[in-house]
Amino acid sequence: MRSFLAGAAPALAALALVASSSHACGDKFLVTGRGQSYYRMHLAARPAAILIYQSPGSAVQVAGEKSKMENSLRDAGHRVAVCGAALDCDLAVSVGGYDIVMADIADAPKVAEKLRSESSRTVVVPIGYKAPKAEVQKAKSDFGYVYEAPSSPGKLLKVIDDVMSKQSRTASSATTN
């Protein structure tokens, strides 16, 4: 019996070492540090060129820092530019090349007017940072979209995806007519 145990002990030890390092299909992603990050999983189906319009004194800068807007948008595959000075922002809007301009809920009408005067297809998405419900509802009725900050990056990306899918639908319907 002792010889059996003496021979079986090393075999059991070897089996225990092998069994602990083998994983079933997909289990290797459950090991700490090996899985994909939740935010990295969301890649935009339609990457957008986005301008974040941070006029002096607006709440967009605080909202951006709190919700990590810029990083979340870049991680999802969008091209992001941020302007801070009023002249820089006005110049960036007039030059164009952006699918979406995100501006403070107070600045959004001014930005939209500037874009309308230049016959741009750029969509303005107001950012309501802790804005009153009435102001958010008015912006939704005026612009169709509002990003309410602070909130999760998933909500931000959902708003951007909604804008881009609507733009692609209107562009495809315009080409078929």
Mean per-residue pLDDT, 98-109: 87
Q: Say if 13 falls within a structural domain.
A: no
Q: Say if 97 falls within a structural domain.
A: yes
pTM of the model: 0.69
For residue 93, give its domain range. Answer: 47-168
Provide the mean pLDDT of the chain. 76
Q: Is residue 128 predicted with pLDDT exceeding 80?
A: yes
Residues with Cβ within 8 Å of 150's Cβ and at least 6 positions away in sequence, in order, are: 63, 66, 67, 129, 130
Q: Are 63 and 127 in contact (CB under 8 A)?
A: yes
> Any idea what the CATH number is for the domain that residue 104 is in?
3.40.50.2300
Q: Say if 33 falls within a structural domain.
A: no
Q: Say if 72 falls within a structural domain.
A: yes
Residue-level pLDDT at 110:
86
Residue-level pLDDT at 60:
77
Q: Say if 31 falls within a structural domain.
A: no
User: Structurally, how many domains does the chain consist of?
Assistant: 1
53 half-sphere exposure, CB direction, 13 A CA radius: 31
Residue whose tokens read 């602070």: 150
At 149, is the secondary structure helix, strand, or coil?
strand
Overall size of the chain counted in residues: 177
Residue-level pLDDT at 36:
54
Least confidently predicted of 17-26, 49-58, 103-112: 17-26
CA angle 78, 84, 86 (to 5 degrees): 120
Which of 76, 77, 78, 138 is closest to 102 using CA atoms? Answer: 78
Residue-level pLDDT at 39:
47
Residue bearing the bigger pLDDT, 153 or 86 = 153
Q: Say if 2 falls within a structural domain.
A: no
Q: What does the alpha-carbon distance between residue 52 and residue 43 come to, in Å, rounded to a whole number?
A: 19
Q: Say if 26 falls within a structural domain.
A: no
Residue 102, burial from CB neighbour count under 10 angstroms (0-12, 13-18, 19+): buried
Residue bearing the bigger pLDDT, 27 or 12 = 12
Alpha-helical (H) ranges within the chain are 2-21, 38-41, 60-67, 69-75, 86-95, 108-117, 133-143, 153-176
Percentage of the chain beyond pLDDT 70 is 69
Q: Say if 9 falls within a structural domain.
A: no
Mean per-residue pLDDT, 164-170: 79
Least confidently predicted of 139-143, 159-163, 166-170: 166-170
